[in-house]
Structure 1
Amino acid sequence: MIFACCILSGNAQVAGYWYAKEFSKDISLYKAKAYLFGDVLGSTPEVTQFEVIPLAAASSGELTTLLYKCESNEKEGLVLGFYGDYWNETGVVYQGFGFKNFDKDAATEFLDKIQSAIDANVKFLRKNTDNNNIVFRHDDMDVLIWTSTTSYTIRLFWNGFDSSWERTAFERSKRRFERKTR
């Protein structure tokens, strides 16, 4: 398998390439552990305990959410795992991935902002489903939201990724994050 990793400037985010058809929560969990100790928590000669809990994966396979806690470093937060297809010059398909970290407070703010935007604009969104949209920028990410007859979809645009986050996965991520970080 071919694996390349590239550290991006800014908020200690990482992107890379992985030869695979799709990413599951298990693969996301596996890759996120290396990202967390390498780019968020740091690696030291002392033994450091931390936990990573998969919260939810979007049915599209493009987005996974994970909670992390490290009591010794006093760090906890939310990691979004982004996945998308890329082709090289010879036509080989790779699955690209990237992780975006939010500390606990930033994660709460991000999740609440999405929910508040939906709640404040629900009449507009439902007035013309699929056609009426709302969009906002949060940090370095654009968030696009629209409704269908029975649900809503959130699209996150970050670092070249365009990932769909359906209502069920968003609400499950938010609920589990809030419950586990009380």
Structure 2
Amino acid sequence: MNQNRINLLKGDITKVTTDAIVNAANSSLLGGGGVDGAIHRAGGPAILEECKQIRARQGGCPTGEAVITTGGDLPAQYVIHTVGPVWNGGHKNEPKLLANCYRNSLLLAQQHKVKIIAFPNISTGVYGYPKDKAAQVAVQTVQEFLQENKLPEQVTFVVFDEENLRLYEQLLGE
């Protein structure tokens, strides 16, 4: 039933027209490299300004948690920033923390009546999470969430490379 609620797209998440995109942020929320830097550059200063307000209110964003800002100049109304775990061999609760990134992002999307959300590959860049293990956590967590919730109506995994595309195709049975 929820399989048709999950899409897979190879491309640039900053160009996806959707209600919300998820940013694989760092705990400072001030932008960085990879997808985080790309989202901040494409979205313009409004995103950084709201991130600074969140920092002033609560400090940074802990691993596994999520916060929401405007989409700024992006073709998305919102950016949900989540902080993935740094891979330490899988012995420091990384799978649970990564699942929390997806779950907390989806809960925040639900609270803001987001119908369509797009996720990048969280923690697989400089944080070193193995792509195959990260994809398994992502797909399983999203599928479980969608089985129990009506919103969001659609989830898109946006992958940047062929390796991730193949991993997600296998997991989603495409």
TM-score, normalised by the number of residues in structure 1: 0.28
Structure number with higher helix proportion:
2
Greater relative contact order (Cα < 8 A, sep 6+): 2
Structure number with higher strand proportion:
1
